[in-house]
Structure 1
Amino acid sequence: MNSGQVIDLLRQALYTATMITAPILIICLVVGIVISIFQAATQIHEQSLSFVPKIVIVLIFIVVAGNWMVTVLSDFAKQIFSYISNLR
C-alpha cells in the first residue's frame, strides 16, 4: 500500500464523516440561532430552553434520516473491506 492509496482512503473517510454529520450540525445551528433570537427578544435566559429543543430536533432527524446514514456507512465499510481483501 503506497502513500497515495492511504491518502485516498483518508479522503474518502473524511468525506463520508462530513456527509453524515453535516446535516445534524446544520440543523443544530439553525435551531440554536432561532432559540437565541427568541431568548434575546424575550430576555428569558434559561439553559434548558436552548438545550432541550436541540436534542429533540436531533433525535427526530436521526429517526427520519437514520436509514440513509446507516446505508452510507455500510457502503463505505463494504468498500473498505473489499479494498482490504484486494491488497494481496
Structure 2
Amino acid sequence: MDQSIVMDVAQRAISLAVMISAPILGLGLLVGLLVSIIQATTQIQEATLSFIPKLITILLTLIIFGPWMGNMITEFTINLYENIHTYIR
C-alpha cells in the first residue's frame, strides 16, 4: 500500500470526524457561553449550573443531526470497503 493512499484515507477520515462533531461542539459551546454570561450578570457562580443546559443541548443536537451523522459515517465506510481493492496492490 502506498503512503499517499494512507494519507488520503486518513485525511478524509479526519475531515469527516471534524464535520460530524462540528454541530455538537458548536451548539455546546454556544449554550455554555450563554450560561456563562447569565452566571456573570447574576453573580451566581455555581459550577454545575452549566452542565444541565449543555447536556440537554447535546442530546437534542444528537436527535436532530443523528441520522445525518449516521449516513455520513455509513457512506464513508461503504466507500472505503468498495474501494479497498484499489488500495491493496
* Alignment of structure 1 residues 52-71 onto 2, 5 Å: 52-71=52-71
Q: The residue matched to 2:79 in structure 1 has which SS?
A: helix
Correspondence for 1:28 = 28
Question: What is the TM-score when the length of structure 1 is the normalising length?
Answer: 0.94
Q: The residue matched to 2:83 in structure 1 has which SS?
A: helix
Q: The residue matched to 1:45 in structure 2 has which SS?
A: coil
| 1:22 CA displacement | 1.0
Question: What is the TM-score when the length of structure 2 is the normalising length?
Answer: 0.93
| 1:85 CA displacement | 3.8
1:31-86 Cα distance to aligned partner (Å, 9 max, x none): 11100000000011112211110000000010111000000000011011112244
Correspondence for 2:9 = 9
User: Which ranges of structure 1 fall in alignment gaps of 5 or more residues?
Assistant: none
Correspondence for 2:19 = 19
Between Structure 1 and Structure 2, how many residues are aligned? 88
Correspondence for 1:42 = 42
Structure 1 residue runs of 4 or more that deviate by more than 2 Å after TM superposition: 85-88
Question: In structure 2, what is the Cα distance between the partners aligned to 1:60 and 1:68?
Answer: 14
Q: The residue matched to 2:22 in structure 1 has which SS?
A: helix
Question: In structure 2, what is the Cα distance between the partners aligned to 1:65 and 1:17?
Answer: 14
Q: RMSD across aligned C-alpha pairs, in angstroms?
A: 1.1
Q: The residue matched to 1:44 in structure 2 has which SS?
A: coil
User: Which ranges of structure 2 fall in alignment gaps of 5 or more residues?
Assistant: none
Give identity over the alignment, percent.
39
